[in-house]
Amino acid sequence: MIRTIIVDDSRVAQEFIAHLLSSDPDIQIIGIANSGEEAIRLITEFRPDVVTMDIHMPGLDGYEATRIIMETVPTPIVIVSASAGVTHAINSFRLFEAGALAVVLRPPSMDDPGFAGARKTLVQTVKLMSEIKVVKRFPNQLKERIPLPVFSAAEPSSSLDIKLIAIGASTGGPLVLKTILSGLPKNLPVPVLIVQHISKGFVKGFVDWLSDSSAIPLHLAQNGDFLIPGHGYIAPDDYQMGVSPGIKISLKKSQPENGLCPSVDYLFRSVAEVAGPGAIGVLLSGMGRDGARELKTMKTKGAFTIVQDEASCVVFGMPGEAVKIGAADKILSPGRIVEKLSELCKNNHAAQ
């Protein structure tokens, strides 16, 4: 049984979430908290396998409660948001900074056409996140120092002629993406394409949250847009994102791959076909194996491939699968990924 505690200051929401989760035979509700303070007390006492967390609560809100839980009794936390609007989404992603693992939208009423799908997403996310072994976070923990690279024609440069960078991520990816994008140079001479597995409805807020600290402008990808050097493009909901000849974005309503749309495999395969040795592929923290096979395809086509190291991953699933099949040229921490991307792109800058 997956022992679960629900945290929400609304009695109606508590009962609704409890009903949805307890309808699955593998989930047991062992406690319900009305506030952040009560959540900390119950989690300390009962040590659940997973927690669903509300954002806005009187007194200790979801952010502070999550931060304290991860510093004292680290527990997998799933944010259950009442809305996927931009403001709610940005607030949800702030909880990732405190240590939460995933965000899902609270399912609508049972007579809503989207109820069945939303309920399935909630239940599956709670079950999957309960399997993750989280570690204690320390107050004011020092982050890995990331150098601020500056391109110079006088510096030694890579012999690669890079046209674009493709990045794939899932569970644990948002915070790593934030670290990488904030560390890239503002004059990055190539575009960046990103597929992040995330619950439907949250991608616009995700782009805005990342944009607050990103060194390069970020956009929600649009079909047919030319890729601009020094800009980042994030795949939207329900579309497979690839690259078409002429280095333009291609969005298609295609079947899910590895059960996912957008899929990292789809992006990496497209990049391998169009850019070949002129691409860099980066696979970050995530469950499952999406991206691993086609990262190997990128490598075979001459691209430079990087995976996040196990020590810094929340889940080493996707990167680990890539390592197993020999898909990675380098296995690096987030800070070292920034350094390597900057180094590999120096040649482009010197040629401009």
| Catalytic residue set | 170, 197, 290
Contacts of residue 308, Cβ cutoff 8 Å, sequence gap at least 6: 176, 282, 283, 284, 285, 319, 331, 332, 333, 334, 337
Contact present, 82 and 113 (Cβ < 8 Å): no
Q: At what angle do helices 173-183 and 86-98 cross, to 10 degrees?
A: 90
Distance CA 77, CA 74 (A): 9
Helix (H, G, I), strand (E, B) or coil at 31: strand
Helices (H), the chain: 11-22, 36-46, 62-72, 86-98, 115-129, 173-183, 203-211, 264-275, 292-300, 317-324, 334-351
Helix (H, G, I), strand (E, B) or coil at 35: coil
Give, in degrees to the nearest 5, the angle at Cα 102 between 96 and 105: 115
Helix (H, G, I), strand (E, B) or coil at 223: coil
Contact present, 4 and 50 (Cβ < 8 Å): yes
Distance CA 200, CA 44 (A): 32
- Name the residue type at position 211: S
